[in-house]
Structure 1
Amino acid sequence: MRESAAERHDRLLGLVRERGSARVSDLASLLGVSPVTARRDVEELAGRGLLDRVHGSVSWPQDATPGAAGPGATGSGLVLGMLAPSSTYYFAEVIRGAHEAAARAGARLILRISDYRPQEDHARTEGLLSAGAEGLLVAPGWQDPGDPAAFGDWIASLPVPTVLLERRPTAGSPLDGLDRVCSDHAHGVLLAVRHLVELGHGAPLLMARADSPTAVAVRSGYAEALAALGLRAPQDVIDSVPAELAPDAFEEAVRALREAVLSGVATAALIHNDVDAIQVVQRLAELGVRVPEDLALIAYDDEVAALADTPLTAVAPPKREVGRHATELLVERLGQSTGAPRRHLTLLPQLRVRDSCGARLPQ
């Protein structure tokens, strides 16, 4: 099976962490990739603060090593392990927040990436434990609704304190008794729907994926938001798919949205996620539907929404804060006696208003 970029990044980080520093040319040879690929990987990881880069070499960040604690840190020397489904897009900021909090606590954070393959989560977590992790931050690579039951039971029996990240297990399940830190996506959707309604629109359409826990939470949050505001969905949710993976299905979804706008079914929409929203806006323009003139639009995630030709209003989950609070909770848990009450911490997203909603509709 071809190695993913996330897996290659994981190996690169491991090599630099083991050596302290390395030349980019040497990393290319060790990874079995071209120098261009190695430089691109290093630039991406350095841009996310996971590595330091100077004059053709790369080094492990000074604030990520044991004893290099920030102001107010205790210099604990703890080793924390983090399992994430990806090191890019949404989880890049979660990782950054965890990294920063670990450094402030004088702890070392080590990372493994599952690339959204939940069947590999257990093995990668065992790798973290073998590397010396004394506590774990775990964001399983679940995608399908059945994944928690099929690939989740092992998490509850881990031998070290564990905090779940951005995952809500089934109520009453063993995983529900673990510490966790999550974004309140239902609240984020409510902010978006309420904003559009206050601008004079009726209930917005939802175009959303169904391939991640965030996507599932956005869908359920949409139903809750409409109920809370006394609204009815103008039509069924439009299933979204990545344009590069399923171009025909993407085109069908865009045309369904276009038809809803032209027929007067809806004047506003919420789209999960940013990348899909940008591509939808581009394709709608080619089909004669303009944002925001013909359609007010809000994206969900706020990773790249501000970079669209028409900057997109977006719901921004507190990704960096999720990583930070989860790490602080884990460090605190490691310093407590067993039997201390577990905590479920929920953080509220924000709505960042830009140009894609337009002004209030005339009454």
Structure 2
Amino acid sequence: MRESAAERHDRLLALVRERGTARVADLATLLGVSPVTARRDVEALAAKGLLDRVHGQVSWPERPERPEHLGAGARRSGEGLVLGLLAPSATYYFAEVIRGAHEAAARAGARLVLRISDYRPEEDRARTEGLLAAGAEGVLVAPGWRGPEDRLGYGDWLAELPVPAVLLERRADPGTPLDALDRVVSDHGHGVLLALRHLLELGHGTPLLVARGDSPTALAVRAGFAEALDTLGLEAPGPVIDSVPADQDPEGFERAVRALHEAVTSGRVSAALVHNDVDAIEIVQRLADLGAKVPEDLALIAYDDEVAALADTPLTAVAPPKRQVGRHATELLVERLTETPDEETARRHLSLLPRLRVRSSCGAPRGPRSA
């Protein structure tokens, strides 16, 4: 994929910030672009005040301290603050997170600057450096990790940021530097438990899980499912069915649908939890083609609740508190930026509970559940 100008600018800013001062010719070599392109990039960034340029060299601008004449009341309100937000996407799940952050920033009188990583964790650091270069005094960061290997390979730099940072919808391994950061997350384990309890109360046996494995949310749903089974004293009716996007892997999607269809028609299961909404809608449609209907033959709950209500048969869904995650994280960041050294509060790990929105896809109660 060809690198955009914005992405190249982020890399350039990261290089200058790391070095303090750099020659334009050296930047061209490091970026792998022509001297003309590097010079144009430098001119564009210098015009925005993001770099200082003198005689063929550029340097990281010295930023003045926050004006004392504003007074403690103005500073404590958050008015005039610039906040950075790095998100892996501006659509689907994270659209609501971003909306909540923007609303909270506006209420505090702060400006929110957004950068998108497109789930490329190797670009997270440069994107965040770009936010700092744009004047961000603190950052909200949802790294583009897809699995534990990304967290290990592209996570340590977060703990070294020179400004306050709050992790969004991402957890860190206990005892690591990242674990010392503030964070605000959805408790996906609680959401899964809500779904299983609802299906059991309707008289179904242990549900089957159909889930992706390509994002922190998907992995948290899988882990939450195992924990919920243990909490409820249940055994899974079969292995987790690996879900994949139908448009990206049609054969893999068909295998997942066929595996679920077999579990239903054999009488092994009468209920399932599916991550995420889009997969759930497409699975319901394909199951109908094969003769298995929701909710008549299968009670189904989707996870995410982005588009679940728009299905032909509106889907019951677990709804993580996405907007509240963005709001609470922004409020926490503003608090960090406006507190005085003598009142600094303890770091916080805030977990928000999802809700279950009941619609038509679970059908009516089936009566007493067999053991």
2:283 counterpart of 1:262: no
Which letter does structure 1 place at the counterpart of 2:136? A
Q: State the SS of the aligned residue for 2:148.
A: coil
CA deviation string 1:214-248 (max 9, x = no partner): 00000000001011111100000000000000000
CA drift of 1:75 comes to 6.1
Deviation by residue 1:97-123 (Cα, 9 ceiling, x = unmatched): 000000000000000000000000000
Residues in 2 aligned to 1:252 and 1:157: alpha-carbon distance in whole angstroms = 44
Identity of aligned residues (%): 76
1:323 paired with 2:294, answer no
Contact 2:78–2:338 (8 Å) recurs in 1: no
The residue number in structure 1 matching 2:300 is 297
- Equivalent pair of 2:209/2:272 in contact (CA under 8 Å): yes
Matches within 5 A, 1:20-35: none
The alpha-carbon distance between structure 1 residues 288 and 96, as it changes in their structure 2 partners (threshold 3 A), is same
How far is the alpha carbon of 1:340 from its aligned partner? 2.8
Alignment of 1:196 onto 2:199: yes
| SS of equivalent to 1:355 | coil
Q: Which amino acid aligns with 2:265?
A: L
Instruction: Report the AA paired with residue 357 of structure 1.
Output: C
Looking at structure 1, the residues matched to 112 and 176 of structure 2 have their Cα atoms a distance apart, in angstroms, of 28
Q: 1:348 aligns with which of 329, 346, 353?
A: 353
Structure-1 residue corresponding to 2:151: 148
Q: Distance in 2 between matches of 1:305 and 1:2?
A: 34
In the other structure, the counterpart of 1:131 is 134
Q: Distance in 2 between matches of 1:234 and 1:288?
A: 21
Going from structure 1 to structure 2, the CA distance change for 1:205 and 1:3 (only over 3 Å counts) comes to: farther
How do 1:82-93 residues align onto structure 2 when only pairs under 5 Å count? Answer: 82-93=85-96
For residue 336 of structure 1, report the CA deviation from its aligned partner.
1.7
Is the aligned partner of 1:276 residue 2:279?
yes
CA deviations 1:297-320 (Å, max 9, x no partner) are 000000000000000000000000
- Return the offset for 1:145: 2.0
CA RMSD of the aligned region, Å? 1.8
Give 1:308's match in structure 2, choosing from 293, 307, 311.
311
Corresponding letter in the other structure for 1:238: I
Whole-angstrom CA distance in 1 between matches of 2:203 and 2:234: 13
- Partner deviation per Cα, 1:6-35 (whole Å, 9 max, x = no partner): 98xx9xxxxxxxxxxxxxxxxxxxxxxxxx
Q: Which amino acid aligns with 1:352?
A: R
The CA deviation at 1:144 is 2.2
Compute the displacement of 1:2 (Å).
5.0
Q: Distance in 2 between matches of 1:79 and 1:144?
A: 30
Q: SS at 1:333's partner residue?
A: helix
1:174 is matched with which residue? 177
Superposed CA deviations along residues 243-282 of structure 1, whole A, max 9, x for unmatched, are 0000000000000000000011100000000000000000
The whole-number CA distance in structure 2 between the counterparts of 1:127 and 1:340 is 28
SS of alignment partner, residue 219 of structure 1: helix
Find the aligned partners of 1:142 and 1:118 in 2 and give their Cα distance: 6
Moved over 3 A (4+): none
The CA distance in 2 between the partners of 1:337 and 1:299, in whole Å, is: 45
Aligned partners of 2:326, 2:177: CA distance in 1, in Å?
22
2:247 aligns to what?
Answer: 244
Task: Quote the Cα distance in structure 1 between the aligned partners of 2:78 and 2:346.
Answer: 25
Unaligned 5+ segments in structure 2 are: 11-75
Mapped to 1, the partners of 2:85 and 2:164 lie a distance apart of 12
Aligned 1:52-91 pairs, distance under 5 A: 74=77, 76-91=79-94
Name the amino acid aligned to 2:362: C
Match of 2:248, SS?
A: coil
Which letter maps to 2:235? R
The one-character-per-residue Cα deviations of 1:25-64 (angstroms, maximum 9, x if unpaired) are xxxxxxxxxxxxxxxxxxxxxxxxxxxxxxxxxxxxxxxx
Q: Does residue 332 of the first structure (1) align with residue 329 of the second (2)? A: no
Q: What amino acid is aligned across from residue 132 of structure 1 in structure 2?
A: G
**Matches for 1:158-237 after TM superposition, within 5 Å:** 158-237=161-240
Q: 1:358 aligns with which of 342, 357, 363?
A: 363
2:363 maps to amino acid:
G
- Tell me how far apart the structure 1 counterparts of residues 78 and 195 of structure 2 sit (CA, whole Å): 42
1:3 CA displacement: 7.1
Superposition deviation, residue 76 in structure 1: 1.1
Gaps of 5+ in 1: 11-72
Query: How many correspondences in the alignment?
Result: 299
Inter-partner Cα distance in structure 1 for 2:2 and 2:295: 41
| C-alpha distance in structure 1 between counterparts of 2:363 and 2:197, whole Å | 15
Q: CA deviation at 1:157?
A: 0.3
Q: Aligned AA for 2:289? A: E
